[in-house]
Homo-oligomer: A and B are copies of this chain.
Amino acid sequence: MLITDVHAFIQHGYRDFIPHLSIDCAILGYHDGILKILLTAWPDLDGWCLPGGYISRTESIDHAAQRILEERTGLADVFLQQYHTFGQMNRVLPLEEKPEFHDNPLYRAIRGSWLDARTVSIGYYALIDFSRATPRPDEFSRECRWWDIRELPPLLFDHPLMIKTALDTIRKDLQVHPVGLQLLPEEFTVPELQRLYETLLNRTLDRRNFMKKMQQLGILIRHDRTRSIGSHRSPYLYSFDEERYREVLTDQRNMSF
């Protein structure tokens, strides 16, 4: 279901979508040791938001989250995880007190509509390779682009909390689930995999112990030595043993990093 006319959506959207309830996606992108997050901006406003949307009356909330992610990134079949539902009373209010917001054309159009209501938002997170995604703004936004997680712009609503909670959840999930299948190329080196973990955890790890843990998990398949990047010993190339990878995903044992 595509929103083709913003004003029609503002006026009649409640026919197709559930009011008072939205979904916001913390879409984290990784590439070459850099962790970014996808944010959208309203026209004529400074603040940025997580990409969000509404739930069709005929789709599940998981489906809605998948659809929103696909609309913003063009990517389908991404691992998307519900992590928290945000329902504080003041999650939108602080912004209504800002005068520059009241003059905003889009906000004036929304005022009084079904969108101008107290809204509970279900948070989802995804972890993708940002080089494979092409950010597309939705009809409400002037821009949609990646931001380095370490240098975020001013955020609207309770989205700082949403981002923090998403990152905390990912780091906790990392202790239980392997990461990398959707983020690294088909073939990769162990240092590349380690770099991913170090970026997500925001700290350095010991090479040798990291290798040991991955070998214990048994999710790596080593190929013939190849890639010669730098001016030193060339590392082996690996792929994920996808069957084993998925076994470990459903496993309950946790690792320490």
Contact = CB atoms under 8 A, between A and B. Distances in A.
Contacts of A58: 89
B120 A87 contact: no
Nearest to A90: B60
Interface string A112-123: 000000101010
The count of identical subunits is 2
A198 interface: no
Interface string A241-257: 00000000000001000
Nearest to A254: B254
Q: DSSP class of A's interface residues: helix, strand, loop or mixed?
A: mixed
Nearest to A18: B20
Interface string A81-100: 01011011100000000000
Interface string A1-37: 0000000000000000011110000000000000000
Given A58-B89, A62-B87, 17 more contacts: A18-B20, A18-B120, A19-B19, A20-B21, A21-B21, A21-B120, A59-B89, A60-B87, A60-B88, A61-B85, A61-B88, A64-B87, A82-B85, A85-B85, A87-B122, A175-B254, A254-B254
